[in-house]
C-alpha cells in the first residue's frame, strides 16, 4: 500500500523543505564567497649576499606565489645607487584539489655605482586591489683596497678597434665574438667605454639596431682599468647575447654613448685664480657623444643535409630529463609527468617535446615554465613541461622514451637525445571509475503517472490564498536576489582573475582615445610626443600584462618580436619611441613637425600591430 502526503500550498506556512532549500542555498553562497575571498598572494625578496666589494654584483631574487592563475609583475623600488639588470624569470603553475597555484621567480643583478651602506626598499605588488610589499634589505658595498676602486685588466690592443696610440681620452669600441653564425645560434656583442677623465654622472648607453635578433642582456656590466700606450683608462664593459631569427647579412649599426665629463681649459695647470679654471673645476662639465664602428654579421640557414623531418628549430647543446611524481598510483588518479630540457642556447624558444601516446590513459594540457641563467655571460638554463595523465585501468603503463631534436652549431650537425622509458604501476581503484559522459538528472523520479490528488470542497476559495501568494512571492524574490548576488560576485571574481585579458582587449581603444585627445587639444610638440610616448608604453604594457616603463627600447623590441609581430611594424614602434623620447627632452628638434600627420602615422602603425596581435 502506497501513502502520499499532500502539499498544502494554501496553508500560508513555510514547509520544512522550503526552509531547508533556503538554508542550503545560503550556505552554498557563503562557502563560495569565502573561497573567493580566501585567495592570497605571498611575495618575498632575498639577496645572495649582504656585503660585497665594489666591482662585484648582488643577485636580488623576488618570489611571488599564490592561488591565482595570473600574477602581475612586481614593482621594484628606486635603485639609483645600482645598475639593475634582469637575469631571468621562471614560472610554475600547479593544480591542487581543484585550485590553481602559481609561483613566479624574478632574478635581478645589482651592480653598485659606489661604495657605502644602502637599503633596497620594499618590492611592491598589487593584486585585485590588495597591496603587498617585502621587507627592506640592507646591503654594504666595501671599497677596494687599491687607490682606484676599479680592478685592473689588460686589453688586447691588437683588436681592430683599439690602437696602441689611441689619441682620444674618451672613446668606445664594439665587437662580436663571431663574424658568421647559424640561425638561433648565440652571438655575443661586447661594448666597451674607455675614459681617461672623471665622469660627472652615469653615462647613457644606446645600443645599435638589433632588428632581426632576439636580444638577451648579459649582466652585470664590468668596471675595470687598463693601460694603453702608458695612459690609464677606466673601462665599462657591457655584453649582449643575440639570436638571429632568420638568415641573411645584417648591419648592426653604431652604438652611442652620452657622457658628462669634466671640462678643463687647454692648460689644465693654469692659474688657480683664472676664471676659466674655476669654471672648469666647479662647472657641470660638458656632455660628449661617442659612437662605435658599424658591425656586420652573416647569419647562415640551418643545413638541409641530415635535417630530420620532425626538427622543430632548437639550436644549442641540450640534455633531457623525464620523471613522474608517482611510481605507483590507483586507477583514475592523476600522475604528473615532467619533461625538463636543459643546456646552453635560446632557452625561451625551446619547443615542447612530443609526448608519445600512452594506451589506457587520458592526457591533459601541458604547462611550461622557464628558468634562464646568465652566469659567465652565457645564456643557459632549462625549460620544463608538465603534463597530467590519468591511467584508466589497473596494471602497468609504460611511458616510452621521449626524443628531443636540436642542431648543435659547434659540431654543425643535428643531434637527438632520448630519455629512458618510465614504468608506472596502476592499482585497482577503490572508487568506481566516473563515466566519461553522464546524463544530467533533473532530481525528480516519477514512479506512477495515474495518481491524482483528491480535491475536496470544489469551488470553495481558500481564505488564506492571499497570504499564500505573498509568501510564495517573497520566496521567489529572495531566490532572485540570491542568484543576482551570486552572479554579481561571480562577475567580480571573473574580472579579478582575468583583469589582464580584459585590459589587453581595451588597450587599443584607450590608446586611440589618448591620441585623439592630444590632437584635438592642439598641444605643443613636446607635449604631444610626451603623450604619445606614455600612450605607447601603456598600450604595450596592457597587451603583454607587464609594465615596460623601465625597459630599454631593445627589451621592448625583443618582447614584440616574441609575439611574432611584423618586424617592419616593430621597427616603426621603436623609432616612434626613440623619436618621442628625444623630442620631449629637446623641444627645438620638433618645431617643423606636423602633429596631425605624425598622429595618423602612429595610429596606423599601432592599428597594424593590433590586427596581428588578435590573430
pLDDT in tens, 192-214: 999 887 776 667 888 998 989 99
Residue in this structure with the C-alpha cell 589582464, named with its chain if needed: 500
pLDDT along the chain (615 residues), means of 10: 40 50 54 50 86 81 75 82 72 54 78 86 84 90 59 58 64 93 95 83 83 88 84 89 94 87 50 42 66 93 91 94 93 92 93 90 87 88 92 92 94 94 91 46 39 47 60 78 76 58 75 83 78 84 72 75 78 82 61 78 85 65
Q: Rounded to an integer, what distance in angstroms lies between the CA atom of residue 380 and that of residue 164?
A: 36
Predicted TM-score (pTM) above 0.85: no
User: Collapsing DSSP states into helix, strand and coil, what is residue 471?
Assistant: helix
- 41-142 CATH choice from 2.60.40, 1.10.287, 3.30.160, 2.20.28: 2.60.40
CATH topology identical between 170-300 and 316-427? yes
Asked if residues 332 and 429 have their Cβ atoms less than 8 Å apart, the reply is: yes
Residue in this structure with the C-alpha cell 675614459, named with its chain if needed: 195
Grid coordinates belonging to 151: 680592478
- 316-427 CATH choice from 2.120.10.30, 2.40.70.10, 2.60.40.10, 2.60.120.10: 2.60.40.10
The class of domain 170-300 in CATH terms is mainly beta
What is the predicted pLDDT for the residue at 8?
40
Q: Rounded to an integer, what distance in angstroms lies between the CA atom of residue 264 and that of residue 246?
A: 49
Q: Regarding beta strands 99-112 and 116-120, do their DSSP bridges make them parallel or antiparallel, or are they unpaired?
A: unpaired
CA-derived radius of gyration, the chain = 33
Residues in the chain: 615
Where exactly are the structural domains of the chain?
A: 9-36+466-497, 41-142, 170-300, 316-427, 499-614
Please give the full DSSP string across 210-227, using - where no structure is assigned. -TTEEEEEEEEEEEEEEE
Amino acid at each position: 500500500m502506497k501513502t502520499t502526503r499532500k502539499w498544502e500550498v494554501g496553508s500560508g506556512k513555510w514547509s520544512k523543505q522550503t526552509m531547508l532549500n533556503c538554508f542550503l542555498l545560503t550556505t552554498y553562497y557563503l562557502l563560495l564567497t569565502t573561497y573567493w575571498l580566501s585567495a592570497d598572494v605571498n611575495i618575498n625578496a632575498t639577496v645572495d649576499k649582504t656585503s660585497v666589494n665594489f666591482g662585484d654584483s648582488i643577485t636580488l631574487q623576488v618570489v611571488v606565489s599564490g592561488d591565482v592563475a595570473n600574477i602581475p609583475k612586481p614593482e621594484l623600488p628606486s635603485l639609483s645607487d645600482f645598475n639593475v639588470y634582469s637575469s631571468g624569470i621562471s614560472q610554475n603553475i600547479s593544480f591542487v584539489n581543484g585550485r590553481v597555484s602559481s609561483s613566479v621567480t624574478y632574478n635581478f643583478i645589482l651592480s653598485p655605482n659606489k661604495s657605502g651602506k644602502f637599503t633596497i626598499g620594499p618590492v611592491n605588488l598589487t593584486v585585485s586591489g590588495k597591496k603587498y610589499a617585502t621587507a627592506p634589505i640592507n646591503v654594504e658595498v666595501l671599497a677596494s683596497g687599491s687607490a682606484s676602486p676599479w680592478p685592473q685588466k689588460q686589453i688586447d690592443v691588437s683588436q681592430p678597434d683599439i690602437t696602441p696610440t689611441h689619441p682620444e681620452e674618451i672613446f668606445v669600441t664594439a665587437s662580436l665574438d663571431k663574424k658568421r653564425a647559424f640561425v638561433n645560434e648565440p652571438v655575443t656583442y661586447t661594448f666597451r667605454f674607455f675614459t681617461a677623465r672623471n665622469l660627472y654622472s652615469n653615462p647613457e648607453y644606446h645600443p645599435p639596431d638589433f632588428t632581426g635578433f632576439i636580444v638577451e642582456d648579459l649582466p652585470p656590466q664590468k668596471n675595470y682599468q687598463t693601460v694603453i700606450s702608458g695612459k690609464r683608462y677606466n673601462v665599462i664593459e657591457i655584453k649582449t647575447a643575440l639570436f638571429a631569427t632568420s638568415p641573411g647579412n645584417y648591419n648592426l649599426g653604431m652604438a652611442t654613448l652620452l657622457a658628462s665629463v669634466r671640462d678643463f681649459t687647454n692648460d689644465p695647470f693654469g692659474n688657480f685664480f683664472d676664471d676659466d679654471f674655476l669654471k672648469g673645476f666647479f662647472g657641470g662639465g660638458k656632455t660628449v657623444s661617442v659612437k662605435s664602428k658599424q658591425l656586420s654579421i652573416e647569419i647562415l640557414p640551418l643545413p638541409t643535409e641530415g635535417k630530420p623531418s620532425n626538427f622543430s628549430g632548437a639550436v644549442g647543446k641540450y640534455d633531457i630529463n623525464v620523471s613522474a611524481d608517482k611510481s605507483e598510483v590507483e586507477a583514475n588518479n592523476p600522475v604528473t609527468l615532467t619533461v625538463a630540457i636543459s643546456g646552453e642556447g635560446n632557452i625561451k624558444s625551446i619547443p615542447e617535446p612530443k609526448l608519445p601516446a600512452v594506451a589506457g590513459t587520458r592526457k591533459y594540457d601541458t604547462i611550461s615554465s622557464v628558468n634562464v641563467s646568465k652566469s659567465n655571460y652565457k645564456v643557459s638554463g632549462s625549460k620544463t613541461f608538465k603534463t597530467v595523465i590519468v591511467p584508466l585501468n589497473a596494471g602497468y603503463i609504460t611511458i616510452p622514451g621521449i626524443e628531443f631534436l636540436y642542431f648543435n652549431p659547434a659540431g654543425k650537425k643535428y643531434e637527438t637525445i632520448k630519455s629512458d622509458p618510465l614504468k608506472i604501476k596502476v592499482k585497482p581503484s577503490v572508487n568506481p571509475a566516473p563515466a566519461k559522459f553522464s546524463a544530467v538528472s533533473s532530481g525528480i523520479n516519477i514512479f506512477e503517472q495515474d495518481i491524482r490528488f483528491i480535491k475536496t470542497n470544489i469551488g470553495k476559495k481558500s481564505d488564506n490564498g492571499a497570504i499564500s501568494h505573498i509568501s510564495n512571492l517573497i520566496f521567489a524574490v529572495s531566490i532572485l536576489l540570491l542568484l543576482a548576488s551570486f552572479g554579481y560576485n561571480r562577475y567580480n571574481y571573473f574580472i579579478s582573475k582575468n583583469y589582464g585579458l580584459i585590459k589587453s582587449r581595451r588597450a587599443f581603444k584607450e590608446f586611440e582615445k589618448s591620441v585623439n585627445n592630444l590632437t584635438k587639444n592642439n598641444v605643443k610638440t613636446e607635449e604631444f610626443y610626451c603623450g604619445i610616448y606614455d600612450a605607447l608604453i601603456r598600450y604595450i604594457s596592457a597587451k603583454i600584462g607587464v609594465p615596460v616603463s623601465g625597459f630599454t627600447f631593445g627589451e621592448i623590441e625583443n618582447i614584440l618580436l616574441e609575439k611574432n609581430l611584423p618586424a617592419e611594424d616593430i621597427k616603426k614602434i621603436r623609432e616612434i619611441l626613440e623619436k618621442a623620447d628625444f623630442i620631449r627632452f629637446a623641444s627645438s628638434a620638433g618645431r617643423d613637425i606636423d602633429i596631425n600627420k605624425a598622429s595618423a602615422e602612429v595610429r596606423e602603425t599601432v592599428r597594424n600591430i593590433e590586427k596581428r596581435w588578435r590573430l
